[in-house]
Amino acid sequence: MAKAAVKRPSLRGRFITFEGGEGSGKSTQIRRLAERLDAAKLRAIVTREPGGSPGAEIIRHLLLSGMGKLLGPDAETLLFAAARDDHVRTVILPALDQGTWVLCDRFFDSTRVYQGRLGQVPPGLVSAMQRVTIGELKPDLTFILDVPVEVGLKRAAARRGSAAPDRFESEDIQFHQDLREAYRQLAAEDPERCVLIDANADADRVAKRIWTALRKHLHAAFAVASTA
Ligand code: T5A
């Protein structure tokens, strides 16, 4: 008897983004996940926003120095969008098309939260920028790392040492509380894509939580593809 055809998820690489407040541990965890994928013989690249491509890294410098802020919230949002446009076209899409996994430290959710929900940039502008820069591209999975604000800021300050806080680190404590709340809301609104990770634990434990959530997500995706 002929075997029933099992549809496998597409060979396109998976697109996984990491989001969260300042010092929530995204860069640490993205490196850990890349190591695990490498050990599992899966090809993956690690990238970040703003930045991730030569052109976008130049814009990153402008944004984090606070120059974008001087132009006003709408123009600052356009700068994030310009950086994303370059990054998506030259790095993310080519990698996914070759079957490479892309692990990205921040993506469009950061614009939705920082500029949209907290920065009072009109939703119409945020959506228009999203359409222009990423079109139909959406992360397959987004980990939102959640830590109490004081913990995140303390970690960010310890890592920074004597350097001055950047454009967003220097916002007041209320901004960071609102930021945490906005990310928690995002996770609640889009539970199929977003997984809220309790990141207030040592890095090993957080890595374990992320790996467990990823495996669960992949099993679910495989089951859907098999029955489609
Ligand atoms: N932004 C970005 C927007 O406003 N709109 C947008 O569209 C986009 C894309 C980017 C800024 O731009 C804004 C958001 C940001 O403010 P950035 O320099 O890239 O700036 O800063 P962040 O993305 O916020 O990243 P950070 O480097 O500040 O923090 P991470 O990556 O979350 O944390 P990480 O891993 O570097 O850890 C910080 C320190 O804590 C330690 C680490 O060793 C490190 O020293 N640490 C832990 N300590 C204890 N326990 C753990 N579990 C730990 N995990 C990490």
Q: Is pLDDT above 60 for 214? A: yes
CA 121–ligand 1 middle distance (angstroms) = 23
Nearest alpha-carbon partner for 114 in 22, 48, 24, 44: 22
CA 160–ligand 1 middle distance (angstroms) = 11
- Provide the whole-model pTM: 0.93
Q: Closest residue (by CA) to atom 45 of ligand 1?
A: 159
CA 139–ligand 1 middle distance (angstroms) = 19
Domain boundaries defined on the chain: 15-227
Segment of 6-20, 30-44, 152-166 carrying the highest mean pLDDT: 30-44
Q: Based on the number of CB atoms within 10 Å of its own CB, is 54 exposed (0-12), middle (13-18) or buried (19 or more)?
A: exposed
Q: What is the pLDDT, as a whole number, of residue 19?
A: 98
| CA 51 to ligand 1: nearest atom | 9
Q: Closest residue (by CA) to atom 24 of ligand 1?
A: 22
CATH 3.40.50.300 fits 15-227, yes or no: yes
